[in-house]
Amino acid sequence: MIRTLPQQRSYTTAFRIYILLFYIFLFAPLVITCILAFNDSNFPALPWKGFSLDWFLGEGPERIGLLHDRSNLRSIVVSAQTAFWVSILSVVVGTMGAFLFEQEKFPGKQGLYFLALTPLVIPGVILGISLLLTANSLGIFFEDTFGVDIPILRPSFWLVVLGQFSFIATFVLLVVSARLKKFDHSLEEAALNLGATRFDVIRYITLPFLRPALFGSGAVAFLMSFENFNTTLFLVGSETTLPINLYLQVRDGSTPIINAVSFLLIVSTSLLAVINLLVSKREVKA
């Protein structure tokens, strides 16, 4: 049954085969996507026609590689900018929320906490449309009453940032709260006792203690934002993010340039994942 109990051979073998198949299932689409990014072919499909970097470096006219593809490059930049702002906002507000719910007492705390958790269980599509509706109504209101046009209230970069932030902040809040729960309050008292002010305590004791959680949740927030599709779909303006841009390309027929983008995404996110993991492991040891 488990490793410390005697096991039947057939049980172990069957289990191993299942796990092997599972991991093949898990990696097949990613591996194939990566391989076909280097196929010297005009379609992301077999047969293998030889190794080529055309879909990264090609200058056209027949094959335009990623490096020369304005629209994809632009959307990568937009996504990175969005993710940057979303992670900053989410970490700041999420951390404040964690402090609020872990350390402060006020009437209605339970209800507010429940409300703060709901964004994670509201489908992303709903978050997108409700924000779109509200921004639109506000925009009409301002235009009708004051005769001013507020561009942020139309599908735009900042609306996407707000929409993603609305649920990613909850994620940060949960991660930071979990860390804050492990905080030993005698450390705070010790610092006060040694002459620190309340500000000193936060600066030198609490924030350093939270650092792994802040960086970890910040990195994941960045990724969540970079890859978000559902919420973004309804809020995106002329500046399309990478997932939206890729979606439009996939829907309208695919070229191996999508594989090239995917390859870069897979490599960079895997690297980020490994770094994040190594860092958090070191922090746990320390």
Partner 1 sequence: MKKQFRLGLFIFLTPVLLWLILLIVIPHIELLLMSLHGKDDMGNTVWTFANYRHFFTEEIYWYTFVRTAFYAITVTILTFLVTFPVAFYITKVVSPRFTGFLTILLLMPFWVSELVRVYGWMILLRESGVINHLLTSSGLLAAPVEMLYNDASMLMGLVYTSMLFMVVPLISSLEGLDDSLIEAAHDLGASPFTIFFRIIIPYAAPGITSGSIVVFMLALGNYLTPTLMGGKNSLWFTEQIYNEFIASFNWNQGAAFGFLLLLLSSLIIWGALKLSRQELGRALS
Partner 2 sequence: MAPVLDIQNLRKQFADFIAVNTLNFQVEDGSFFSILGPSGCGKTTLLRMIAGFLEPSEGKLLIRGEDMTRVPPNRRPVNLVFQNLALFPMMNVHENIAFGLKRQGVAAGEITRRVGALLERVHLSGYDKKDISQLSGGQKQRVAIARSLVLEPSLLLLDEPLGALDLKLREQMKIELKKLQADVGTTFMYITHDQSEALVMSDRVAVMNRGQFEQIDTPRNLYSNPATRFVAGFVGETNILPVKVISKAPLKVQTAFGLELSGTHVGNFQGDLLDLFIRPESIILDPADTMEDINRFSLTVRNILFDGSNTKLLATVGTSDYELTVALPQNQQFAHIDKGDTVQAGVHVDSCRCYAGGER
Considering only residues 139 to 198 of the shown chain, the ones binding partner 2 according to CB under 8 A are: 184, 186-187, 189-197
| Residue that is written with structure tokens 């995106």 in the block | 236
Question: Per CB under 8 A, does 141 bind partner 1?
Answer: no
What residue 143 binds from partner 2, partner 1, none (CB within 5 to 8 A, per partner kind)? none
Sequence length of the chain is 286
- 123 binds partner 1, rule: CB under 8 A: yes
- When asked if residue 47 is in the footprint of partner 1 (CB under 8 A), the reply is yes
Given 140, 250, 282, 283, the residue binding partner 1 (CB under 8 A):
250
Contacted entry of partner 1, partner 2, none for residue 180, CB cut-off 5 to 8 Å set by kind = none
- Choosing from 17, 140, 187, 277, the residue that interacts with partner 1 (CB under 8 A) is 277
Binding partner of residue 127 among partner 1, partner 2, none, CB cut-off 5 to 8 Å per kind: partner 1
Prior bond of 47 cis (ω within 30°) = yes
- Distance CA(213)–CA(98), nearest Å, equals 11
Whichever of 64 and 135 has its CB closer to partner 1, that residue is 135
The distance of closest approach from Cβ of residue 202 to partner 2 in the complex, given in angstroms and rounded to an integer, is 13
- 39-44-46 Cα angle (round to 5): 65
> Rule CB under 8 A: which of 201-260 touch partner 2?
204-205, 208-209, 211
Rounded Cα gap, residues 3 and 168, in angstroms: 39
The backbone region for 147, taken as left when phi is positive above 0, alpha when psi lies in -120 to 50, beta otherwise, is: left
Per partner kind, with CB cut-offs from 5 to 8 A, the member of partner 2, partner 1, none near residue 1 is: partner 1
Nearer to partner 1, 64 or 173 (CB): 173
Task: Examine residue 284 and tell whether it contacts partner 2 (CB under 8 A).
Answer: no
Pick one of partner 1, partner 2, none as the site partner of residue 269 (Cβ within 5 to 8 A by kind): partner 1
Task: Tell me the per-residue interface mask from 211 to 240 with partner 1, x by CB under 8 A, - otherwise.
Answer: ------------x--xx-xx--xx------
By CB under 8 A, tell whether 29 contacts partner 2: no
What is the C-alpha to C-alpha distance for residues 80 and 227, in angstroms, rounded to an integer? 10
Q: Which does 209 bind (CB under 5 to 8 A by kind): partner 2, partner 1, none?
A: partner 2
Instruction: Quote the least distance from Cβ 206 to partner 2, whole Å.
Output: 10
Cα distance between residue 199 and residue 180, in whole Å:
17
191 binds, among partner 1, partner 2, none (CB under 5 to 8 A by kind): partner 2
Q: Kindly list the residues in this chain that would bind partner 2 in the complex (CB under 8 A).
A: 184, 186-187, 189-197, 200, 204-205, 208-209, 211, 286
